[in-house]
Structure 1
């Protein structure tokens, strides 16, 4: 698998008209759309529609032939086709109002849903589909997801797992699809799922516990209970094992990915949702930009820490990373493409017309996905050498999964420190990678760890080894005070270096749902070094072998200004480029090394004024989700930019993809590069072909 593989994807939307297949008009439309995709520079299309695939059971033969016909048309133009469907969700409605909600809010699924009475009779290989349903722990009835007007099949049900694997074999054989995005194989309703006999059996036989009633607070939401932590572990393992079963059918190397908008938030344990599990069976990584990109207030960085984690996982595993963003105009397509290049990700651009709550007579006037991406994708095709590099950095930020899973009852326990760390470094133009494993000393000179209170034994040892081998560890807040399961360590990691770290824990009442009784209160960290108290504004430094440890009790979410982490990192690294604050105002930069060793700088404006299609917005019946953004303009950003190059460089070239120009830039004897940017340029690339490392 080539992690540098650049994918230029669009959604291939199925509609009710496509269900007429086989049909000459549909066949002609497929050819026209395939032509449009090829002209736009697309190299991958992803099916959207017929989404709740089990609802299409009576139509599978026709549907698979339709997918095969689409694949054939795309292959003749050098484009791959991935299928994308929900493995586990099924639309189920009671009465006309639920049916109306289903079709208003989820029209993009093409909700071909049977009545509950008919659904109760459906079987596959002798098993009733209704016997596979997840069971709500609180009611003993099937889980119902109001937002989707849906029920969910249980990934631990052996009958369902066999059936879905059989379906995947059938799908690939009949359609010839080139890849699969297998959606929703987690616990969508959160802590209320799943109480089916198979989940209870797995918990009893593999972990040695009976699942208690929700009134039992010695278990539920009790983060001192090892049995409750086993429940958390089992649910995460279940999501991985389901995808491993899918992988066993597809074979090694076949493209497989899963939906996952975040792996960082503390609530991921609630859903058992993380790409840290999915990476084991999957070999493509999804980076979904939910909501608006940019947001209506003009920001785009709020989800950057989550995106950075998925980028880091892609780099660690050597997988392509595919950034999915939604929009309806060339403006949003251009921005989403530019944002993905800034991140270092491939692009999947998609409209989402069916969720707007507008009639088809209105949405049919909006352009199809390939019509919106041609500008950006064709530029990428002609400039691949600028866009397939690797981050050029000495700095890594560690993400602590165990702190999130077994200690993080609220975002204040850990997540806000991780988020603030990533955003602070981004805002100060420090390029970095996120790592989910403690690296060996080599690529990274500096490892940043903020409030990772839980380290497993291998992480504990690897962190000490990184330091002893000459690395620099910059640690803030409580680090390594607890083990993988959040039990206090007899020898906290910091104590090995003369540091005493104390944490004042907030009250942590057990509850159902877990964390429901918690106030969003940050655990306060204090500490001393060799008997002397250390303030949250102070960094102490100690040496170990040829390495250095810098530590402060300060926490990024409350003390970031006084900690000034970016300045500490800059003192410990050598930067090839300086970004003077005034002349670079309103811009964010990330640094890459191209395949030929050239230094490449990607720059994106940090804030925008956003315009929407106001008249259409007023007509929407569904105010949720993505909005109809029609225009963006950068704001509060410099048009005159000066950079300082600190290593020998003979030349530079400026590219403004969206504006359509490129030109040579002179470099002064003092290494200064002066740029003048037109107001409409919000993204640019600087290439330094002869710049040394």
Structure 2
């Protein structure tokens, strides 16, 4: 439950977001404004003030989610308003309040139009949930998938659906009834995408779904009318409209609406499926289809992205000032083009940004690969007017919930905790309730370390460039790796060297004023597709003394994927330009540190390696977050996920010597008295020993004995 002070702060944030006064609030902080950089070295900085010109019209943020939890629905909840169900609602709402969850997100009844025959009782149930949650000042966000219906094809697919996707809450039409299924006069079969191979209805085999077409005006009208009814009958505080993509992928869509749009907007005709010059080698897995050398194919992908974005725009226009988010488990890889999952394209219409940090099994402890996704989405949210960013982490047991909570703190975002036992073939006998999975870390946070992620600003030393033109054009290097592979490799190396970084994306790279607003070095690796505007901006940055680390190739193609006669790299010059090896070739960051080209603000000199440190400014005070990169997963002895991976039940650490020593450049990271805190230490505080070596440097001695996952120094 929240106190009056929190409610007042929420009202204040709401007022500045709606009046535009909050549009310049960023989630990174230029270290150059804290202290001067060493002579001859690049200043360390974050997002400059000049970037405010890039920010789109601000998001609708009537409240800030900080500690979210999934409100799970099961099939029996359709029996509302029986006493058993109404009593359960009251009991669970009280449990959420005791766990200091401030925002509940609906989960279940997911493939929403499968339940069209039951909307009255379903909405009645939801309305009572909202009423009970509001008694505890807990916000309630809807979460559903609008553009699919479950239609397993054959017995094997039927069993697969019930084995793998119980979390959807399954209740779908049988094949005979499906032919007549409809809502608001629209028959579902008439709204589906069309398979380009044989003209059948589009089918997403990974989920046993038939997919509605985003371009179909009947579908969008049906969805709009449902949203209007939902808002009237339930009155949610916000909406997550999920699966804004095309899970049927490149097998679709050949409907008249898509063909007409492609001709109208891009001047092209969708060719027959047998055309290999367009569809490429279709003997490969679907995510690898497509001939990116063909500009018509590239345009088709853009049209598909446009269609999804237009649908998202319609949803936002329908719900008005209530916040909208959608699920996005990934933003970087080329493979996402195949399913039209493009968060950057949807961003102008989204108010909250959610990274689905998927994982319930033992692989979840290997979190470094997720850091790039988290920080890229933070940058997308920042450019959307400092919109709230949320990390959703799945778990079965408490330790997984704590891991996800720790990652959210390390990333500086809100934590959405979600149990996911319904994704297993059957519930484990020792399953726990959602609120029980996250109660302990949430309550510890409120009592001991109530840091507000919205106020935190990352301390940034380098800007890592991810240019989405390379993804859009399907570019891969001679080593078979794509631009995102390189970006992620830099991310992991920065973490291991405790170098604060942030993302710099395509639009900012093309803005010379934004680049020059700070002197933070740029890192550009394998950026083949570059626009003229980006090149000119980078030239100006270098000409005025900017630092950049560049791994070739660079500018071999333009932003539309057309090959240039000469690479732009041949024309790029500047005293601060350093040509380096690609990050996937080895320990490039270590080499740059040894050469003195990068001087981290914090360097570990004692204790075992393995603790990642991330600095963040909170109202002028430095806070250090510690996340273990050497966790050892303890598997459940019998419970496994649908991929036969053991479920995470506990976490140990491979780090033996937790008496850590760091050298800190206090011109970049100002220090004051610090204490180590962690849920693993409960109420205990361990003072950090600070020894000042000079005016501009200090030694930190940090004792993390007894901590396996996460700690904070504040």
TM-score normalised according to structure 1 size: 0.86
Report whether the alignment pairs 1:479 with 2:548: no
Report whether the alignment pairs 1:577 with 2:602: yes
1:260 positional shift: 1.3
Report whether the alignment pairs 1:31 with 2:90: yes
1:212 positional shift: 0.5
State the match for 2:587 in structure 1.
561
List gaps (5 residues or longer) in structure 1: 499-541, 688-693
Report whether the alignment pairs 1:665 with 2:688: yes
Q: Is the 8 A contact 2:324 2:351 kept in 1?
A: yes
> Aligned equivalents of 2:707 and 2:601: distance in 1?
28
* Alignment match of 1:372 (pick from 428, 434, 437): 437
- How does 1:576-595 map onto structure 2 within 5 Å? 576-580=601-605, 582-594=606-618
Deviations 1:132-164 (A, max 9, x none): 111111221112223322211111111101111
State the match for 2:504 in structure 1.
435
Distance 1:123 1:44, change over 3 A: same
> Aligned equivalents of 1:77 and 1:255: distance in 2?
20
* Alignment match of 2:351 (pick from 264, 269, 283): 283
Deviations 1:450-479 (A, max 9, x none): 111111233223322333344322211112
1:300 positional shift: 1.8
Deviations 1:86-116 (A, max 9, x none): 1111111345554333222211111110112
3-state SS in 1 of match to 2:681: coil
State the match for 1:295 in structure 2.
363
State the match for 1:550 in structure 2.
578
> Aligned equivalents of 1:257 and 1:625: distance in 2?
31
1:480 positional shift: 2.3
For structure 1, which segment, 324-333 or 285-294, has the greater mean C-alpha deviation from structure 2 after superposition? 285-294
1:207 positional shift: 1.2
Report whether the alignment pairs 1:413 with 2:437: no
- How does 1:207-226 map onto structure 2 within 5 Å? 207-220=266-279, 221-226=290-295
Q: Is the 8 A contact 1:605 1:637 kept in 2?
A: no
Q: Is the 8 A contact 1:474 1:549 kept in 2?
A: yes
CA RMSD of aligned residues (A): 2.3
- How does 1:19-58 map onto structure 2 within 5 Å? 19-58=78-117
1:429 positional shift: 1.0
> Aligned equivalents of 2:644 and 2:263: distance in 1?
40
> Aligned equivalents of 1:165 and 1:626: distance in 2?
40
State the match for 2:678 in structure 1.
656
Deviations 1:224-247 (A, max 9, x none): 322111101111111111101111
> Aligned equivalents of 1:134 and 1:336: distance in 2?
36
1:285 positional shift: 0.9
> Aligned equivalents of 2:579 and 2:414: distance in 1?
36
List gaps (5 residues or longer) in structure 2: 1-16, 28-63, 280-289
State the match for 1:539 in structure 2.
none
1:15 positional shift: 0.7
State the match for 2:638 in structure 1.
615
Distance 1:556 1:32, change over 3 A: same
* Alignment match of 2:710 (pick from 680, 683, 689): 683
> Aligned equivalents of 2:160 and 2:469: distance in 1?
39
> Aligned equivalents of 1:479 and 1:625: distance in 2?
42
For structure 1, which segment, 135-144 or 307-316, has the greater mean C-alpha deviation from structure 2 after superposition? 307-316
3-state SS in 1 of match to 2:460: coil
Tell which has more relative contact order, 1 or 2 (C-alpha 8 A, sep 6+): 2
Q: Is the 8 A contact 1:326 1:350 kept in 2?
A: yes
3-state SS in 1 of match to 2:189: helix
Q: Is the 8 A contact 1:181 1:256 kept in 2?
A: yes
Report whether the alignment pairs 1:396 with 2:463: yes
State the match for 2:55 in structure 1.
none
> Aligned equivalents of 2:219 and 2:352: distance in 1?
24
Moved over 6 A (4+): none
1:555 positional shift: 2.1
Report whether the alignment pairs 1:106 with 2:165: yes
TM-score normalised according to structure 2 size: 0.83
State the match for 1:503 in structure 2.
none
1:171 positional shift: 0.8
Q: Is the 8 A contact 2:325 2:353 kept in 1?
A: yes
1:414 positional shift: 2.1
1:304 positional shift: 2.5
